[in-house]
A = this chain, B = another copy of it.
Amino acid sequence: MAGKKLKIIPLGGLGEIGKNMMALEYSDDIIVIDAGLMFPEADMLGVDLVIPDISYLVERSQMVRGILITHGHEDHTGALPYVLAQMKVPVYATKLTQGLISLKLKEHHLRDKVKLEVVQPGQAFNLGKFKVEFFRVCHSIPDAAGLIIQTPLGIVVHSGDFKLDFTPTDARPTEFSRLAQLGAGGVLLLLSDSTYVELPGYTPSEKVVGQNLERIMAEAPGRVIITTFASLVSRIQQVIDAAYKYNRQVFVIGRRMTEIVRMALELGYLSAPPGVLSRLEQMRHLPLNRIVLLTTGSQGEPTSALVRIANRDHPQVRIQSGDTIVISASPIPGNEGLINRTIDNLFRQGANVLYDKLAQVHVHGHGSQEELKLLISLVRPKFFVPVHGEYRHLSLHARLAQTLGIPKENAFVLEDGDILALDRERGHIVAKLPVGNVYVDGLGVGDIGHVVLRDRRMIAQDGIVLAVITVDKRTGQLVGLPDIVSRGFVDPTDAQALFERGRDLVAKALGHGDGHSAQTDFISKKVKQTLFQFFYNQTKRRPMILPVIVEV
């Protein structure tokens, strides 16, 4: 056994926000923590989703004992359908998380092919040489968990996504005492959530939001229309409770919100007194100040119910004077524009809109600096690896750990693909895997590469110009004048004169009529050069030039 090391291999989520995935490897056993997706950034044109590169695992699939999912958010579960299509391996999660994963696998017709195990927090189980136990943490979804993993070299604690919250809606706070116990006995490694390391102090409790929602339900003169993340079941519970308290009925609209409310009621994660949840058809019988609409659309998603309402495009709901809209969510970076446009449109129709800048109608789900410090202080690990964050978050978190006594050489700022090898005494980055992004676009997984994206970006910038050159196949001579067509370059109605001059220039460049024969490559290059230069001089734009040579 001497000399065997524990390897920590982040495959996603370190150096970026999203697509969280990590492997722990010891001897011939691998366990995987999370399998998330990331939504594409602005320059990933046309890409639907981004998932981690799992080549390392696929090559070693015989060694992979299981995938542990800490909670049901997309950035921790969204890559599962793609991973499970490539590897047959059991998935372990708490009950609600398992329910959400089931919905997802059904959509991908994979539900029957996967072994999906429900785990009770506090019950340990073996996966190869690892012994795994889930522990409860608070986060912006119920049934979130951290992990306690016993390895032959010592205990590894993974925080999951967490905050402390002494007064959560489901009355199940983060399990400190278990962590303190572990800390006393000695922990080899702590992997901890870095998302909100920039924020000083403590993240406020969910209770604050509950109180504000109650006040809104009490005081709103008319309907309350409220949107939140569909998976934020505790917030939905708060809406139901506040509505009940002030004698309002709740109507759920939007496909995903309806689906999740139904499942959470079935699994016991939501409870509603009889008569509070009603069908939309009943709404017209009620006075306006007895109505709450709970809807999708907290991120300004163009096809969501709230956005359709804001655009006067919803079949059943129109904004009325006296409506109060509550956006009980914060924007996921990149969605600010969509959300702002939705808020603007709601204001335009005379609604009163409450959102994060105006009222505390949301708290986020990650711990701030003092909570991160508390976790490190309780667990007292020998080694520390910040997870979940862009590079600055990881750096700042590693520094925070140093202020709490973790030696600098024991706090590792890793990025995706770095392989950290630990023994009981020290750790080293021993290799760097080439783990890029895998893009999902339509049915294609991983076939969108550098070239395709570069072409999309180039054309998106200044359009494309096609030059169709007909040449005599025997003589290589130009037949007639070239044909020029463009898309996204200049206004087609204005372009005629420009393109006529372009045609003449190409013909001249190719020596139209002088009897020379020429090779396809030469023609192609010549056409590109001529037109690129001409169009750039005329317009200061750089369209993609695509010569098409037809031999007849």
Contacts and interface: CB of A to CB of B under 8 A. Distances in A.
Interface of A: 15, 41-42, 45-46, 198-199, 333-334, 336-337, 340, 343-345, 347-348, 353, 357-358, 390-392, 395-396, 441-444, 447-449, 451-453, 455-457, 459-464, 466, 468, 470, 479, 483, 485, 487-492, 494, 538-541, 544, 546, 548, 550, 552
Max chain B C-beta neighbours (<10 A), residue from A15, A348, A459: A459
Contacts of A358: 198, 396
Contacts of A489: 452
A407 B13 CA distance: 53
B448 A491 contact: yes
Contacts of A15: 344
Given A344-B391, A468-B468, A452 B46 contact: no
A267 to B, nearest CB: 32
A290 to B, nearest CB: 26
Contacts of A540: 442-443
A548 B483 contact: yes
A65 B395 CA distance: 57
A24 to B, nearest CB: 25
A324 to B, nearest CB: 14
B392 A343 contact: yes
Nearest to A441: B541
Given A456-B463, A468-B550, A485-B546, 4 more contacts: A198-B358, A347-B392, A452-B491, A459-B463
Contacts of A333: 336-337
B337 A487 contact: no
A336 B390 CA distance: 13
A494 B447 contact: yes
A485 B452 contact: no
5 contacts: A46-B460, A46-B461, A343-B392, A448-B491, A457-B460
Interface centre among A45, A457, A540 (most CB of B within 10 A): A45
Contacts of A452: 463, 488-491
Nearest to A453: B488
A-B pairs with lowest CB-CB distance, top 10: A442-B540, A460-B460, A344-B391, A456-B488, A455-B488, A442-B541, A46-B461, A198-B357, A347-B395, A455-B487
Nearest to A334: B337
Contacts of A444: 490, 539, 541
Contact of A460 (B390, B456, B492): B456
A403 to B, nearest CB: 14
A18 to B, nearest CB: 13
B461 A539 contact: no
A380 to B, nearest CB: 26
Nearest to A537: B443
Contact of A42 (B42, B198, B459, B466): B42
Contact of A479 (B334, B448, B491, B552): B552
B491 A449 contact: yes
A459 B461 contact: no
A337 B335 CA distance: 12
Contacts of A442: 462, 539-541
Given A337-B42, A459-B460, A487 B544 contact: yes
A460 B45 CA distance: 6
A334 B459 CA distance: 21
Contacts of A487: 455-456, 459, 464, 544, 546
A504 B348 CA distance: 53
B390 A344 contact: yes
A357 to B, nearest CB: 4
A212 to B, nearest CB: 15
A46 B462 contact: yes
A449 B493 CA distance: 11
Given A442-B539, A463-B455, A487-B455, A550 B470 contact: yes
A468 B483 CA distance: 12
B494 A392 contact: no
A307 to B, nearest CB: 15
A548 B344 CA distance: 43
A340 B441 contact: no
B443 A538 contact: yes
B461 A45 contact: yes
A45 B46 CA distance: 13
Nearest to A394: B347
A551 to B, nearest CB: 9
Q: Which of A344, A461, A548 has the most CB of B within 10 A?
A: A344
A395 to B, nearest CB: 4
Contacts of A552: 470, 479, 550, 552
A347 B415 CA distance: 13
Nearest to A548: B468
A478 to B, nearest CB: 13
